[in-house]
């Protein structure tokens, strides 16, 4: 559906663009909304995408009957732009985010955003907000949030007559504070998705379902927990996700990188990147398989991985009355650290990237 031919950015020429004074303490950046100068907006109507536009307006004016508001017909993505040491800017695997958004669109009967349009929109947003990209060496990055919503007059449960695709950006620091400091997590009895539901699609409903488990995890007394661990929704015996991140572990013999496989897990681009790096650069065996919550003794290291979480080492997991500690308290495992160095090194341009992983924005 749709075509990207008319996809030009037609509001402002680069010379005429607004450029706000940016007064940010880069070192203390967290993961909070900061309004940046430009966002991309494109409309889909009667089977086609209209020309996209960069706009300063960060408000959307949409019909009260919009399916995104009532029936959760929307999806989104998250990716980052990184400032390199030579001043250039890297996007990390945006083609994979485009493909995943297309998969979300198919699941929720929305028109697919063509990859070319998706990547060009990201590129334009980064260029127009270039002054918001945290400097190299601060550990920050520019987080891009592409999203697609069903809009237009409607009342019944059916796909929307019109759609809006937008990309905005926010400068961010670490999602889980503390960088490579291990964090504790706690299993929840709630599910973020059903066995044959929408867990593999990046759609808002999964995240609405995660708000309460997150809140409960954060307020559990006794220890500090960063987020909830979701078990497989069918049997509640296997680890699926760590908050809004995928899970991985290293077997006790230090030889294998394992990450859960399930149709209700979001296919994390970071996870697939780590599977590649673990095998090709660290020489580990890699497996997508089952990680049983009552067999954690078989693993020496564990981590959460995602665009926002990067790699967050897991210190320990609380499951019912039992707390399982990985490795030495307060220290990331050696293989977790090596994976982190490889991944982050590639993202910031310090290490060679596998073919096609980096798209230069400037």
Ligand X SMILES: Cc1ncc(COP(=O)(O)O)c(C=O)c1O
Is residue 140 within 8 Å of residue 173, measured between CB atoms?
yes
Q: Residue 251 burial by CB count (10 A; 0-12/13-18/19+): exposed, middle or buried?
A: middle
- Binding residue (CB under 6 A) for ligand X from 306, 315, 316, 349: 306
Is residue 325 within 8 Å of residue 299, measured between CB atoms?
no
Residue 102 in the binding site for ligand X (CB under 6 A): no
Residue 104 in the binding site for ligand X (CB under 6 A): no
State the DSSP H helix or E strand holding residue 19, giving kind and residue range, or none if neither: none
Stretch of 55-63, 169-177, 252-260, 263-271 lying at the interface with ligand X (CB under 6 A): 263-271
Residue count at the site for ligand X (CB under 6 A)?
12
CB of 76 to ligand X, least distance (A): 9
- Binding residue (CB under 6 A) for ligand X from 246, 259, 262, 347: 246
- Binding residue (CB under 6 A) for ligand X from 188, 268, 318, 347: 268
Stretch of 14-22, 135-143, 144-152, 265-273 lying at the interface with ligand X (CB under 6 A): 265-273
CB of 332 to ligand X, least distance (A): 18
- Binding residue (CB under 6 A) for ligand X from 241, 326, 343, 357: 241
What binding mask, one character per residue, do residues 50-89 give for ligand X by CB under 6 A, x or -?
----------------------------x-----------
Residue 270 in the binding site for ligand X (CB under 6 A): yes
Provide DSSP, 284-350.
Answer: -EEEEE--BGGGGGGEEEEEEEETTTEEEEEEEEEETTEEEEPSSTTS--HHHHHHHHHHHHHHTTS
DSSP code, position 255: -
Give me the residues paired with residue 135 across strands.
Answer: none
CB of 63 to ligand X, least distance (A): 28
- 316's CB contacts (< 8 A; 6+ apart) are 182, 184, 185, 323, 324, 325, 326, 329
Enumerate binding residues for ligand X (CB under 6 A). 78, 241, 244-246, 266, 268-271, 306-307
């Amino acid at each position: 559906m749709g075509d990207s031919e008319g996809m030009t950015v037609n509001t402002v020429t680069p010379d005429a663009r607004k450029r706000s004074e940016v007064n940010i303490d880069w070192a203390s950046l967290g993961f909070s909304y900061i309004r940046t100068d430009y966002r991309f907006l494109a409309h889909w109507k009667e089977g086609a995408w209209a020309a996209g536009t960069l706009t300063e307006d960060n408000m959307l004016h949409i019909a009260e009957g919009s399916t995104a508001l009532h029936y959760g017909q929307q999806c989104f993505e998250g990716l980052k732009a990184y400032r390199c040491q030579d001043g250039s800017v890297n996007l990390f695997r945006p083609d994979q985010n485009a493909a995943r958004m297309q998969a979300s669109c198919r699941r929720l009967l929305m028109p697919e955003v063509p990859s070319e349009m998706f990547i060009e929109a990201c590129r334009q947003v980064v260029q127009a907000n270039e002054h918001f990209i945290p400097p190299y060496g601060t550990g920050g990055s520019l987080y891009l949030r592409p999203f697609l919503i069903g809009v237009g007059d409607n009342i019944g449960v059916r796909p929307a007559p019109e759609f809006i695709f937008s990309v905005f950006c926010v400068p961010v620091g670490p999602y889980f504070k503390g960088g490579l400091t291990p964090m504790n997590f706690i299993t929840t009895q709630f599910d973020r998705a059903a066995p044959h539901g929408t867990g593999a699609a990046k759609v808002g409903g999964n995240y609405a379902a995660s708000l309460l488990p997150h809140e409960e995890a954060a307020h559990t007394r006794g220890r500090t927990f960063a987020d909830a661990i979701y078990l497989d929704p069918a049997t509640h015996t296997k680890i699926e996700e760590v908050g809004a991140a995928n899970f991985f572990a290293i077997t006790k013999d230090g030889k294998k990188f394992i990450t859960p496989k399930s149709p209700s897990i979001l296919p994390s681009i970071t996870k697939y990147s780590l599977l590649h790096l673990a095998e090709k650069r660290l020489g580990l065996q890699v497996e997508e398989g089952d990680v049983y919550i009552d067999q954690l003794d078989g693993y020496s290291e564990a981590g959460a991985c995602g665009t926002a979480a990067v790699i967050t080492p897991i210190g320990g997991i609380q499951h019912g009355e039992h707390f399982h500690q990985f490795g030495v308290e307060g220290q990331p495992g050696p293989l977790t650290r090596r994976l982190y160095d490889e991944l982050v090194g590639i993202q910031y341009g310090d290490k060679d990237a596998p073919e096609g992983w980096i798209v230069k924005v400037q």
